[in-house]
């Protein structure tokens, strides 16, 4: 899973939409409250829109009020973190470990249990709603979460 996917920028440009290319490959940020997933509560696995790697489980998603999909943790070791000094800020950039694409940033003001807020662009994600991709069911009567 740690195998790095390498493609030329021309290949990425052909495979991604212009909006996805700007975010994933040029570290852009989509406008808040405009993406597909910020208000999505469906079950499933959020995959990398560039390479399909499993990135975030829907049961770690929370409503941050920021207008971007927000998660308390990444799935396994799916992402890697990089110091980002752009725009006069010190932030921590989140990239897909498998393909190196930019996903968003992570902040330390998230809810328990992790205290993390992974602030991710909708267009960098592709929600896989197939039952096999969904997190283990917690049970209709409120099983262990
Ligand atoms: Fe990826």
Domain of residue 114 covers 9-129
Q: Which of 51, 96, 99, 119 is the catalytic position?
A: 119
Residue 59 tokens, joined? 């049961």
What average pLDDT does range 26-53 have in this prediction?
A: 97
**Average of pLDDT values for 35-44?**
97
pLDDT of the residue at 141:
47
Evaluate whether residue 2 is within a structural domain: no
Q: Is 99 a catalytic residue?
A: no
CB atoms closer than 10 angstroms to residue 51:
20
Q: How far is the CA of 73 from the centre of ligand 1 (A)?
A: 16
Of residues 3 and 85, more confidence is placed in 85
Arithmetic mean of pLDDT, 54-58: 97
Dist. CA 97 → ligand 1 center (Å): 7
Q: What whole-number percentage of the chain has pLDDT above 90?
A: 85
Give domain status of residue 66, yes or no: yes
CATH of the domain at 99: 2.170.150.20
Model confidence at 133, in pLDDT bands (50, 70, 90)?
A: confident
CA 130 vs. chain centroid, Å, equals 18
Whole-number Å distance, alpha carbon 144 to ligand 1 midpoint, is 30
Work out the number of other CB atoms within 10 angstroms of the CB of residue 47: 21
Position 73 in a domain: yes
- How many domains does the structure of the chain reveal? 1
Q: Find all residues with CB under 8 Å of 65, minimum gap 6, and list them.
A: none
In a domain, 142, yes or no: no
**Distance between Cα 143 and ligand 1 center (Å):** 32
Domain-embedded: residue 136: no
Question: What percent of the chain has a predicted confidence (pLDDT) above 70?
Answer: 90
Q: How far apart are CA 104 and CA 98, in angstroms?
A: 15
Distance 99 CA to ligand 1 centre (A): 4
47's enclosing H/E stretch is strand 45-48
Q: Report whether pLDDT(139) > 80.
A: no
57 within domain boundaries: yes
What is the DSSP code string of 56-121? Answer: EEGGGEE--SSSS-EES--STT-EEEEEE-GGG--EEEEEETTT--EEEEEES-PPTTT--EEEE-
Domain annotation covers residue 94? yes
What are phi and psi for residue 87, nearest 5 degrees? 60, 25
Question: pLDDT-derived band of residue 2, with 50, 70 and 90 as boundaries?
Answer: low
143 in any annotated domain: no
């Amino acid at each position: 899973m740690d195998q790095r996917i390498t493609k030329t920028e021309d290949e990425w440009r052909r495979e991604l939409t212009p909006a996805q290319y700007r975010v994933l490959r040029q570290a852009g940020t989509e406008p808040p409250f405009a993406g597909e997933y910020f208000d999505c509560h469906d079950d499933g696995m959020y995959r990398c829109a560039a390479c399909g790697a499993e990135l975030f489980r829907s049961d770690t998603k929370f409503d941050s009020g920021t207008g971007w999909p927000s998660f308390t943790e990444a799935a396994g070791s799916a992402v890697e973190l990089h110091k980002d000094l752009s725009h006069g800020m010190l932030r921590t950039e989140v990239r897909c470990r498998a393909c190196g694409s930019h996903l968003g940033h992570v902040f330390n003001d998230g809810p328990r249990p992790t205290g993390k807020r992974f602030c991710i662009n909708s267009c960098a994600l592709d929600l896989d709603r197939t039952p096999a991709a969904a997190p283990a069911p917690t049970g209709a009567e409120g099983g262990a979460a």
